[in-house]
Amino acid sequence: MNIKPLFDRVVIKRMEEEKMSAGGIVIPDSATEKPIKGEVLAVGPGKALDNGSFRAPALKVGDKVLFGKYSGTEVKLDGQEILVVKEDDIFAVIG
């Protein structure tokens, strides 16, 4: 996949959620919510500032992140569903 986000946009691939509960019950796809965790696939050059320079992004490709449930725009590219979000909509980097 060849995608380069602009400004403070970040491209994320959602991580798959557990398909089984802690008690061993299989959860069907229709009953699960979309995951709010993902992996960063691409990062833009940063937020444009008033003086014409850019503020460098705090994220890098490969980071695992938490983002807002209704954040971003879903796009299907090369048969893969990805999410394009603003860096401000990402809450945390997880280990």
In this predicted model, what pLDDT tens digit does every residue of 32-89 receive, in sequence order? 566 689 999 999 999 989 998 889 999 999 999 999 888 899 999 888 899 999 999 9
Q: Say if residue 23's pLDDT is above 80.
A: no
4 or 18, which is more confident: 4
pTM (whole model) above 0.85: no
In this predicted model, what pLDDT tens digit does every residue of 67-82 receive, in sequence order? 988 889 999 988 889 9
- Structure confidence at residue 87 (pLDDT): 93
**Can you tell me the distance from the alpha carbon of 66 to that of 14, in angstroms, rounded to the nearest whole number?**
10
